[in-house]
Structure 1
Amino acid sequence: MNYESGIQSDTAEAAVVAPEEEFGMEKPARHTKRWIIGAILVLAAIIAAYLYLTAGAEEDVADRDSQAATVTVVSPGRTTVAGEIVATGVLAARREMPVGVVGEGGRVVTIPVEAGDWVRQGQVLAVIDRSVQSQQAQSAAAQIQVAQADANLAQSNLDRSLQLVERGFVSKADVDRLTATRDAAAARVRVAQASLRELQARNARLNIVAPAAGLILSRSVEVGATVSAGSGPLFLIARGGEIEMLAQVGEEQLAQLSAGVSAEVTPVGTDKSFTGQVWQIAPTIDRQNRQGTARIALPYAPGLRPGGFATATILSGTTTAPILPESAVLSDDEGSFVYVIDGENKARRTSVEAGNVTSEGVIIESGITGSEKIVLRAGGFLTEGETVNPRALEN
């Protein structure tokens, strides 16, 4: 029974399949279905791989963004500011007057002034011993008296002769001789008087006097010293007490200055400033350091000491340029620079030319336009090309 049943089952199955195999229909349909399923599986695998890689890239970007340093950036724009030139230099007397011996000199017996004193024109600064010269002056005065006596006698003789000439007691020749004697005696009087005045003038020159009013800057003589015309200056006077600063200015900046502009001068060691005015621009440039001198006139003040060092801020018109806080401007051996954040949030080093430092910040003369995103702080910790997370400065 079982055997037959198996035979019948096989026969029936064969009977069912046999017509399909006879017409060749079963095998192509099965292959097509398998290809479709395989294609769907491959496409699904590609989509899954794409989604996986995209998600991984986004995660990497997110990770990088989360790890990037956050920096504050600022776009300074352009600002119109008063141009200033900062220069250094020394203080000096605007008009120095060296005072020395103008006579024959001698031993100094009196010095009534000290350095730092104000003196008027003609005031005696030092007195030189004149004991010998005084005796010479007295002798010259006596010579005048002698000459005057001779002149008086000659005049009397001439007067008497003129009275006797009409009576015939004195000849015309005698009158002429007596007249000549009288004239010679009068001339000797004038010579003696001139000699006395010369001695008096020489004696007056023994006093060393101030040629003009001013401030005594230095004194290089003491009582008891022997001085002469070759001794050099004994006193140095600032005429009128006027002081000036010899500001050393670069060649390019010097071209921006003109006489009459205002300047603020601050001596070293003090925070007090003095207002002055540029009164002269040097016509030449030093070949060694390529600098010229701007002479700033200053009125007298006790805080202005000639020979001292000072800093001057000189006005030089107006300029329009970006202004950055000092923290944004860095410098190294290659010069000044800032970090600019580009469109990919990468820090790019940009060289700039820094100008004067004002109360608002550092004037940037060239290198940026002012529209860039510039790192405000911590630029010293960044590297070229580093990715950052920029954050705009909140006002």
Structure 2
Amino acid sequence: MIQKALILIILLFCLGGCQNDNRKQTVKKERPPLTVEAIIVHKEPVPIWLEYTGKTQATKRVEIRARVAGTLEKVLFTEGDHVRQGQNLFAIEQTAYRAALDQALAGRELNRASLQLARADVARYLPLVAEDLAPRATLEQYQAKVAELQAKIKADEAAIREAKLNLSYTEITAPIAGVISRSYVDVGNIVGYGEKTLLTTIVADDPMYAYFNPPEEQFQIMRRYKSKDVLDARVRIPATRSLIKRGPYKGHIDFGDNKVDRMTGTISMRAVVENPKHDLLEGTFVYIDVFVSDKVPFFMIPPGAILEDQQGSFVYTVDKSNTTKRVNIKRGFEGRLYVQITSGLTDDAQIIISGLAKIKPGIKVAAKDMTAEKGVMALMKKQQMTSAE
């Protein structure tokens, strides 16, 4: 009897343990799936903006130098100000140059009077020589004198032009519109002796250049996919470098070099942008956005959705049974908000964009569709709205 009782107790204990294990398994199976954010991708035309960093440079830079010698009498501009083309900048002492002009004018008048007398002598001797009443040699002397004086008058006129030119050089004006530097020479100093003294510089800042160096592969992408002969561009100043919002500055690409830099594998390019407020300064570090096209369909996904390991780039997708799957992809060109996917994706693929550290292939998830808020097109619209503010 005692043995039967012991056996019955052991059977009841084992049965209770099995029931507990079953309950634990049931609880484990009933754990809710991981909630993740996902976007649905399609092969569709997306505005392609390629972003680069670069520096601004003035479209024109002019050195203002003294072209005649003399004492600097006046500085007629505010240093660092914007000057207009033709504006007076400096005045050099004019006394010597006015005297030279007056002397050249007087010399011409003297020779004109002598020429008039010589012509009268020729006119008087012509009939006398014809009647053999005067020697021909005398007539020829007067004719030679006329020719000599005509040549002297031409030399006088050249001297007058030179004197006027030198006098004009004493009033130095701005050859271009732009921002002027400081005066490198103080009033009272002698300039222009032995060399053309540098007085100041002017840089033209509207429009402004922005130089950058894209990789050769992206240069070829621009050429292949561009929707217009002239690529649109805009220049932005990083928010961390400016306390006051400036830009974006609109323009276009006006130069691409004809060779690849062997050291860097890049090509020099240039954007020219409007700068009507003159607040984009030369030498500023900037972002250059180049618009390529919005006509060609691509698969585009946010950069944050892509993972990397020894096998390469991949994303996690969600199938119709809400199960995750690893999909290997190949990357194409990249922008700040997107990466082009050249292989691996299909239309209507659901890409996980959040909680990627917790994801592994074959697990159940609850995917929340965030395409309207965090898809590539949505991100681009937000950027456009931010840029327009």
When normalised by structure 2's length, the TM-score is 0.68
Match of 2:230 among 260, 284, 287: 260
Matched with 2:8 is none
Structure 1 residues 190, 280: CA separation in 2 closer, same or farther (over 3 Å shift)?
Answer: closer
Tell me by how many angstroms 1:296 deviates.
1.9
C-alpha deviation, 1:90, in angstroms = 1.7
Residues 1:355 and 2:334 aligned together: yes
Q: Which moved more, 1:370-379 or 1:177-186?
A: 370-379
Q: Does 1:221 align with 2:184?
A: yes
Following the alignment from structure 1 to structure 2, what is the Cα–Cα distance between the partners of residues 128 and 306?
30
Q: Distance in 2 between matches of 1:331 and 1:116?
A: 53
Aligned pair count reads: 337
| Structure 1 match to 2:253 | 278
Tell me if structure 2 keeps the 8 A contact 1:324–1:363: yes
SS at match of 2:148: helix
Could you list the per-position Cα deviations for residues 242-273 of structure 1 after superposition, in whole angstroms to 9, with x for gaps in the alignment?
A: 22322332322211224512223223432532
Could you tell which deviates more after superposition, 58-67 or 168-177? 58-67
Over 3 Å counting, the alpha-carbon distance change for 1:335 and 1:174 in structure 2 is: same
Residue 179 of structure 1 and its aligned partner are, at CA, apart by 2.5
Give 2:286's aligned residue.
Answer: 310
1:1-395 aligned within 5 A:
61-62=25-26, 64-65=28-29, 70-74=34-38, 76-80=40-44, 81-94=46-59, 96-101=60-65, 103-114=67-78, 115-120=80-85, 122-162=86-126, 165=129, 170-211=134-175, 213-216=176-179, 218=181, 221-224=184-187, 225-228=189-192, 229-231=195-197, 234-238=200-204, 241-258=206-223, 259-268=229-238, 269=242, 270=245, 272-302=247-277, 303-317=279-293, 318-324=296-302, 326=304, 328-329=305-306, 338=315, 353=331, 355-358=334-337, 362-365=338-341, 368-369=344-345, 374-380=351-357, 382=358, 389-393=364-368
CA distance in 1, matches of 2:199, 2:67: 13
Check conservation: 1:98, 1:233, Cα contact below 8 A: no
The match for 2:384 is: none
What secondary structure, in the 3-state scheme, does the structure 2 residue paired with 1:242 have?
Answer: strand
Alpha-carbon distance between aligned partners in 2 of 1:278 and 1:134, rounded to the nearest angstrom:
50
Equivalent AA in structure 2 for residue 236 of structure 1 = I
Amino acid at match of 1:299: E
Aligned residue for 1:256, secondary structure, equals helix
Once the two structures are superposed, residues 78-108 of structure 1 have per-residue CA deviations (whole angstroms, 9 ceiling, x without a partner) of 24222221122222233x1424337344443
Task: Provide the rounded CA distance (Å) in 1 between the counterparts of 2:41 and 2:121.
Answer: 108
What is the alpha-carbon distance in structure 1 between the residues aligned to residue 262 and residue 142 of structure 2?
Answer: 79
Cα separation, partners in 2 of 1:105 and 1:257, compared to 1, 3 Å: farther
SS at match of 1:76: strand
Q: Secondary structure at the match of 2:233?
A: strand
Q: Distance in 2 between matches of 1:310 and 1:279?
A: 17
Q: State the alpha-carbon separation in 2 of the partners of residues 336 and 233 from structure 1.
A: 59
**CA deviations over 1:44-80 (Å, ceiling 9, x no partner):** x9xxx99x88x78765654555678723153533242
Q: CA deviation at 1:289?
A: 3.2
- Residue in 1 aligned with 2:386? none
Answer whether contact 1:84 1:313 (CA < 8 A) is retained. yes
Query: Whole-Å Cα distance in 1 between the matches of residues 69 and 52 of structure 2?
Result: 45
**Offset at residue 373 of structure 1 (A):** 5.9
Amino acid across the alignment from 1:130: Q
| Structure with the greater alpha carbon radius of gyration | 1
Percent identity of paired positions between Structure 1 and Structure 2: 17
Deviation at 1:190, TM superposition (A): 2.8
Give 2:375's aligned residue.
Answer: none
State the alpha-carbon separation in 1 of the partners of residues 217 and 167 from structure 2.
56
Instruction: Give 2:151's aligned amino acid.
Output: A
Q: Distance in 1 between matches of 2:40 and 2:323?
A: 18
Q: Aligned-pair RMSD on alpha carbons?
A: 4.3
Matched-pair contact (CA < 8 Å) for 1:71–1:388: no
Give the deviation of 1:336 after TM superposition.
Answer: 7.3
Q: Is the 8 A contact 2:180 2:202 kept in 1?
A: yes
Residue 260 of structure 1 aligns with an amino acid whose one-letter code is V
Q: Which runs of 5+ in 2 are unaligned?
A: 1-10, 224-228, 371-389
**Partner amino acid, structure 1, of 2:41:** G
Q: Residue 159 and residue 272 in structure 1: after superposition, are their counterparts in 2 closer, same or farther (change >3 A)? A: closer
Q: Could you tell me whether the CA contact under 8 Å between 2:211 and 2:269 is conserved in 1?
A: yes
CA distance in 1 between partners of 2:180 and 2:237 (Å): 18
